[in-house]
Amino acid sequence: MSAPVRIGLLGCGTVGQAFVQAITEGGPTIERASGHRLEAGPILVRDPTRPRPGVDPALLTTDPEDVLADPEVGMVVELMGGVDPTSGFVRRALESGRPVVTANKQLLSREGDALLELAATAGTELRFEAAAGGAIPVIKVLRESLLAAEIDRLTGIVNGTTNFVLTRMRRAGLDYEAALALAQELGYAEADPTEDVGGADAAAKIAILSSIAFHTRVRFGDVPFEGIDGLHAEDVEIADGLGFAVKLLGVAELVDGAVSARVFPALVPHGHRLASVEGADNAVLLESPGAGEIMLVGPGAGGSETASAVLADVLSILGTQRGSFLHNALADAGRPIAPPGALRSAFYMRLSVRDRPGVLARVASALADGELSIETVLQQGQGDAARLVMILHEGREERMRAAVERISGLEDVREPPVVLHVIGNGDGR
């Protein structure tokens, strides 16, 4: 029998319990396949009295020293989340020379470069596949299969909660509040879903993925984000009638040699690959001049799914020499961060207007001042209940923002315009 590898856990919620269960029930298979026998514990928790099916209560502790100072712990798995005090715990583990596996997107999107440098200095590993795509092995693909390929664009549906909500709004005709309540009832949304529906969760993941894809240190604060919490059911319905699905997207690309990373709700043509990704699934579409288009699809969340990605990282560490390429996962190639507004996009705009002569002409003139042109226009209703819906040709985001300010000031525009990004060209690309 092989010598055991003892894994100390920081946190034991849904994912932690699934991880312990995976190495317990799958122990013989893991040992045969990898040559390593994994054992869990000690396990740091806040409340040791909370039921944790499949986890031996004798392994639980409320003292971080039981994990961080135990000489028998050969590896640390961090699943407690948050930045403080988690950052200090992870740093101590790395400084001691022990490898760390984490699913903590918020920590990595803020301190990932510093933590990887610390791991390199200590001659150990920091791995984080589960932090950016759940069960989707996108980091492994970027750092191994596409290591020599130049990525020029990354587009992702990277939050399962919002994708589930938008799918129900489109398929079942639910309004936002009803769709979110259903997501919470089914366990796809937290009791406090603010980070998910507000876009912060997706922004943290896109910061990590764009850092790796473009070899640039993109941090959470470099990713402007919008969520779906202000989205109206009528816009989802209108978009569907025009041939689009609404998705919360993370988009990262090179703009004049700089990295632009954004999160926003967008209209995606029904023929586009991302439009068919529904429910709580996630997807990442990678575009490379050399490799073409590669799309990875799978569960973006869930205890067992995330635990499987954590376990894969554990086994990768045990199967490779220390000092692997992952130390350079957030290496800086010197590319700057593109300024806000540099992104080019097509746009959807819905206006509530008074039905008077010349309204459309004045709106078109305000758009033309920003070098923006109308591709499609749809007018509905009359009197004070008139509605204009437009699809605009591609233009710079900063010019669209300025045009919206001008249009909002027009006398016959009754409410601030609703504006969403539009991606793709309708041919499935």
- One-letter identity of residue 257: G
Alpha carbon distance 325, 234 (integer Å):
48
Cα torsion for 243, 249, 253, 259, to the nearest 10°?
Answer: 150
The answer to whether residues 203 and 195 touch, using CB atoms and an 8 Å cutoff, is no
Collapsing DSSP states into helix, strand and coil, what is residue 7? strand
Alpha carbon distance 110, 141 (integer Å):
23
The crossing angle, in degrees rounded to 10, of helices 397-408 and 359-368 is 150
Radius of gyration of the chain from its Cα atoms, rounded to whole angstroms: 24
The answer to whether residues 220 and 214 touch, using CB atoms and an 8 Å cutoff, is no
β pairing state of 244-255 and 258-269: antiparallel
247 an active-site residue?
Answer: no
Q: Given strand 100-102, what is the order of strands in its sheet?
A: 60-61, 37-44, 4-10, 73-78, 100-102, 126-127
The DSSP string of 26-50 is THHHHHHHHS-EEEEEEEE-S-TTS
3-state helix, strand, coil in the chain (%, to 5): 40, 25, 35
* HSE-up of residue 174 (Cα within 13 Å, Cβ side): 16
Structure tokens at 190: 């937290």
Alpha carbon distance 211, 347 (integer Å):
27
Alpha carbon distance 414, 252 (integer Å):
34
The crossing angle, in degrees rounded to 10, of helices 233-241 and 160-171 is 70
Catalytic residue among 105, 140, 205, 247: 205
Task: Give the DSSP letter of residue 312.
Answer: H
Beta bridge partners of 248: 265
Residue-level length of the chain: 429
Question: Catalytic positions, please?
Answer: 205
